[in-house]
Structure 1
Amino acid sequence: MKILCLNTDDAVWKHWNQVISTDALLVRVEKINSVYEALENTGSDFKYCFIYLSDKSFSTHVDDVVALRSKFPNQKIIVFPNHSNQSVSLKLFSVGVSGQCAPYIGREQLSLVLTVVDSGEIWGGKAFIQQLIQQSAGNAPAGYNNGLENLSERELSVARFIAKGLTNKHIAIEMDITERTVKAHLTSIFKKTNTKDRLSLALLAQNNDATL
């Protein structure tokens, strides 16, 4: 497993090498242009892209991640901001970033993060995601509830659980269905509500909890 790492901090880089699993190969670059070059190489085959967001030129780094995600929409990107920022986190998750972690994350937690991201889920820590959803729910634009009325009873249940921050596995347990069925429901829900990811759906559901 190869992981491309944009990292300009030697201490954080050393820590990542200490906590990553033994079957992973970390490849370090220090400029955003080098990330593009590496990902454009058809033989690179990087499973994940780790990006350290330092305090210096933080806003520029965030914009770089947004542009990178647009260029490589299928690449799993995990950001490691030196300091957490709610508005920035919302922006990054909304464009499809797979996860956000502390730079000095522990070995077991990093392993869990990669497992969750690999399954197609978003990682920010369950408590963080729930807090983000709750704080952002009131910011949804007018007309953002379009589509909820078209959901079936089962789909409404799935949307409700997504709004609570549950994973597909936990939703499947709660509803006594398979994870594959949960994914099928989500595909239909995204289409009917014109949402593109779990966070957008959660914001929609939270903002219209009376409908649910």
Structure 2
Amino acid sequence: MTSRIRVAVVDDHPLFREGVTRSLSEIEGFEIVAEGSSKDDATGIAQSLGPDVMLMDISMPGGGLEAIPAILEVAPSQKIIMLTVSEDGDDVTTALDRGATGYVLKGVGASALAEVIRTVASGERYVAPTLSAKLLSTKGPAQPGKSGLVATLTPREKEVLHLVAAGMSNKHVAIELDLQEKTVKHHMTQIMTKLGVANRTEAAMVLRDAREL
């Protein structure tokens, strides 16, 4: 029997929080271990219960973005998914830079949210595809020297990177390319190493810059 993913939900809107909790509880493979409504709640839950994944809003007492480093200080391995209405690019990049492992908009359905949680629990990062596309379409400062590194990737690595940049998870890239998911994970590790980046979003941005040269 596969162990259940232990989830905490931190949001200061009781009706929304209860809805998420109820929806996930009805999906096989999930266990809600705690609920909270503030930065202090989130930090306490991470420290005392260590859920596999924490869902957390940005707009709550103490601030969701401010809560990320506080949580990681007491629980360095805590996986955090921001579940929010904010589509602001600065919020997305700040959340990821501070250590969030996922960023999802509140309009997501229960089954899709469950898949995101599984993705993050397995060790991957996830950003909603619409937000990934928005980040990539926003012209930011190019990373000197890194755009040319795309040429060092193998043809298969380039295929993987293009699909990741389109917002696909490792699982869906594996299906698209008829590969094992662990093979895709290996390719992503190699890609990030070659490009000198820390996460999938940064890798996608390097690809964007390369396309604009």
- Give the stretch that moved more between structures: 6-15 or 194-203: 6-15
Where 1:2 maps in the other structure, the secondary structure is strand
**Which runs of no fewer than 5 residues in structure 2 stay unpaired?**
none
Look up the match of 1:52: 57
Cα displacement (A) at 1:95: 3.8
2:117 aligned residue (105, 108, 114): 114
Cα displacement (A) at 1:201: 0.5
Contact 1:69 1:95 in 2 (8 A): no
Distance 1:53 1:184 in 2: 32
Distance 1:152 1:70 in 2: 38
Where 1:83 maps in the other structure, the secondary structure is coil
Where 1:8 maps in the other structure, the secondary structure is coil
| Cα displacement string for residues 134-168 of structure 1 (whole angstroms, at most 9, x for unaligned residues) | 225x4333334263343233323322322222322
Structure 1 pair 79–142 and aligned structure 2 pair: CA distance change class (3 A): same
* Match status 1:30 vs 2:5: no
* Match status 1:20 vs 2:24: yes
- The percent of aligned pairs where both chains have the same amino acid is 21
* Match status 1:190 vs 2:195: no
Where 1:177 maps in the other structure, the secondary structure is coil
Letter in 2 for 1:4: A
**Which runs of no fewer than 5 residues in structure 1 stay unpaired?**
none
Number of paired residues? 206
1:135 aligned residue (121, 135, 138): 138
Distance 2:191 2:198 in 1: 10
Letter in 2 for 1:47: D
Structure 1 pair 152–108 and aligned structure 2 pair: CA distance change class (3 A): closer
Look up the match of 2:87: 84
